[in-house]
Amino acid sequence: MRRRQFCRNTFAASFAAAFPLLTACERSQPETIAEATAPADTGIAAISLDGANIELEKAAVNELGAELNGTLMLAGHPKYDETRKIWNGMHDKRPALIAQCANPQDVQAAVTFARQQELLLAVRGGGHSWPGKSVCDGGMMLDLSQMYRVNVDTDAQIAHAQGGAWLNHLDSATLPHGLVTTGGVVSHTGIGGFTLGGGFGRLNRKYGLAVDNLVSAQIVTADGKLRTISAEEEPDLFWAIRGGGGNFGVVTRFDYQLHPFNREVLSGMIMWPVDQASEVLHFYADWHAGLSDELYVGPIMVTLPDGGGSFVGMEVVYNGDPAVGEAEMAPLRAIGTPADDGIKMQDYMVMQTQEDASFGHGVRSYIKNGMVQSFTRELADAVIETFVPDPRLAFFTHTAGGATTRVGELDTAFPHRNAETMIMVGGGWIDPADDEWAMSTARAWFAELQPFTGGYYDNIHYDREQAAGNYGPAQPRLEQIKGVYDPGNLFRLNNNIIPA
């Protein structure tokens, strides 16, 4: 197989090539708010925080619409159906109201309205909530999609990013200045949920998680106040949002520490036929613990569509001197007989966008994950034995270690500092008829791997409603802070922390 052809059809093809509809499903970020607010002619049927049926008074709804600089959408608005859609096509929900905010003052107004009306509230940043919690039936969707601008202070090496920005907006703003911070692996992911849950990325071994690079933020809390928080200002709240998810308010601005960075990095994928999986993964189990902070290597197992076969692979990014990187990864490249070795010097954004089509807007997707302290030979054997050779599902990882493990367990609210790796089983498909098979198979597959894990990553966890037990010693403090800033649990559509 030719190198160029294979590189186009490795990890991305394991999902994207199976889905010819994905290109049509992709959506670009809107540039302006074009339509005026649609007035309510009658009371609006809605759902309260406790799930009861309520009716919102016409006058109150119209007053909110008049107060917003952005757009208040009701069903029937020309952009209602487009705006209510989120990334994961599994979720087709119809909020009573969509408050498409233009600035922090709009967010304050929307939060205040939801609190006063005791209205179920979903917060949509990038709309990448895997379990669909950025939209709801019958409540309000608070939409930040118009607040996506990123400003870079090159002198201070700080990026100021609005709460609705995508990772692509962040990278695209910082990289031309020779600066970067830890970002995730799908560029149309919103920075909000990504950061608040911890923030794994291909540079986290060198620079830490996204929460480790967050130096301050602006947040609207349940009382409608806009607060600027940092280690010096309201430090308890600042501690809580760095790992505690969306439990504490709507973040309207994230301020990230940036790092000097050469965007031409040694990176790419190595793929081996699946019959070499034992040799490859056993080598990785013995080798990965001694790697430098500059080297990110994450194993995957995928099946290509249309009879393309199954493969074990390694995703690689070396953030440093390429000559040193070549030497460090030479043992990996010498293992077995690769079907393709695509590691080369290339723009960092090649890696940052390579999975965008695989997880394009409209794909139906489900995932299970768990945190792993060490990728052992025993885990490697379990991964191989349980592998399901179907293009709709895959095994993949986010590698941690390095700088992420050198932050104290309680220095932030992120609870899994001892984890070297996060393992995941999941995938994507288009046909709703595949939902039951894919979800049940992923659950059964992951159940065989779960004994190797301890806790899970909130950002992409699908099945839990409450976060009890996952935060370890941080849980009591999180509950206390939740009780101070959100005693009524307005922000409950998340991996929820119950207020003390």
Give me the residues paired with residue 403 across strands: none
Task: Please tell me whether residues 240 and 119 are part of one structural domain.
Answer: no
Task: Please tell me whether residues 89 and 238 are part of one structural domain.
Answer: no
Angle of the 58-67 helix axis to the 104-117 helix axis, nearest 10: 170
- 460: helix, coil or strand? helix
Alpha-carbon span 303 to 391, nearest angstrom: 5
> Which residue numbers in the chain have pLDDT < 50?
1-35
Q: Is the dihedral of CA 261, 264, 266, 272 positive or negative?
A: positive
Task: Please tell me whether residues 128 and 185 are part of one structural domain.
Answer: no
Task: Please tell me whether residues 398 and 333 are part of one structural domain.
Answer: yes
Number of domains in the chain: 3
Which tokens go with 343? 């590691």
Which of 229, 261, 293 is the C-terminal boundary of a domain? 261
In a domain, 487, yes or no: no
In a domain, 481, yes or no: no
Q: What is the pLDDT of residues 6-46, one digit of tens each?
A: 444 444 444 343 333 333 334 444 443 334 566 667 789 99
Instruction: Assign residue 353 the CATH number of its domain.
Output: 3.40.462.20
Which of 261, 293, 323 is the C-terminal boundary of a domain? 261
Task: Please tell me whether residues 223 and 280 are part of one structural domain.
Answer: no
- 38: helix, coil or strand? coil
Task: Please tell me whether residues 77 and 122 are part of one structural domain.
Answer: yes
Nearest to 369 by CA among 400, 403, 395: 395
Task: Please tell me whether residues 136 and 159 are part of one structural domain.
Answer: no
Per-residue pLDDT, 467: 65
In a domain, 368, yes or no: yes
Task: Please tell me whether residues 124 and 161 are part of one structural domain.
Answer: no
Residue 83, domain extent: 30-143
Q: What is the pLDDT of residues 126-152, one digit of tens each?
A: 999 999 999 999 999 999 999 999 999
In a domain, 486, yes or no: no
Phi, psi angles (nearest 5°) of residue 423: -105, 145
Task: Please tell me whether residues 121 and 247 are part of one structural domain.
Answer: no
Per-residue pLDDT, 388: 97
Cβ contacts of 45 within 8 Å, gap of 6 or more:
53, 54, 55, 56, 96, 138
Alpha-carbon span 28 to 22, nearest angstrom: 13
Nearest to 13 by CA among 357, 277, 346: 357
Give me the residues paired with residue 346 across strands: 265
Task: Please tell me whether residues 100 and 7 are part of one structural domain.
Answer: no
Q: What is the pLDDT of residues 159-209, one digit of tens each?
A: 999 999 999 999 999 999 999 999 999 999 999 999 999 999 999 999 999
Q: Is the dihedral of CA 460, 461, 466, 469 positive or negative?
A: negative
Task: Please tell me whether residues 225 and 275 are part of one structural domain.
Answer: no
Which tokens go with 283? 């080598």
Alpha-carbon span 64 to 72, nearest angstrom: 8
Nearest to 186 by CA among 436, 17, 355, 351: 355
In a domain, 282, yes or no: yes
Per-residue pLDDT, 251: 98
Contact by Cβ (8 Å): 176, 114: no
Task: Please tell me whether residues 162 and 175 are part of one structural domain.
Answer: yes
Alpha-carbon span 74 to 77, nearest angstrom: 6
Which of 261, 287, 322 is the C-terminal boundary of a domain? 261
pTM, 2 dp: 0.92
Run of H or E including 298: strand 295-304
Cβ contacts of 66 within 8 Å, gap of 6 or more:
37
Per-residue pLDDT, 42: 74
β-strand pairing of 179-180 with 259-260 = antiparallel
